[in-house]
Structures are given as C-alpha cells and as structure tokens.
Amino acid sequence: MELKKQYIVNEDNQKVAVQLDIATFEKIENVLENYALVQLMNEDKSEAMTVEDAKKYYASLDKA
C-alpha cells in the first residue's frame, strides 16, 4: 500500500505530525481493527459450539 503522506513541521523545520488522505487513513484503520479482532479471537479460551448446538440454541430463542 502506498502511503500518501504530508509532514507538518514546526518553526525549526522539524517534523511534528503526519497528514494522510482519508482513503489511506480508512485503510489503515480497517487493517488495525481486523488485526485486533483476530487477536481477541485467538485469546478467547471459551468452548466453541458445534453447528448442531448452535442450531438448537438458535431454535430456542424467542423470535419476537
């Protein structure tokens, strides 16, 4: 991914911030969110339901 960035500098011409276009920012944000979700899923030590158990549970829900 090409990062189109612009630097913001102070009066001493030192870089103090980076400005990204919104499309690039949204791509980075999406990657970070997906990474965090995968990390949470990998840390989850609870038991996974079988497909059959999930179907039984879904069938037992009140369908208002």
Q: Residue 19 is part of which domain span?
A: 5-60
pLDDT at 46: 76
State how many domains the chain has. Answer: 1
Tokens of 12: 């001493």
The residue length of the chain stands at 64
Higher-confidence position of 47 and 6: 6
Contact predicate 29/20, CB 8 Å: no
Question: Are 21 and 1 contacting, i.e. CB atoms less than 8 angstroms apart?
Answer: no
Answer whether residue 8 shows pLDDT above 90: yes
Q: Cα–Cα distance between 61 and 3 in angstroms, integer? A: 47
Query: Residues 12-59: pLDDT tens digits?
Result: 999 999 999 999 999 999 999 999 988 888 887 777 788 998 899 999
Higher pLDDT, 28 or 4: 28
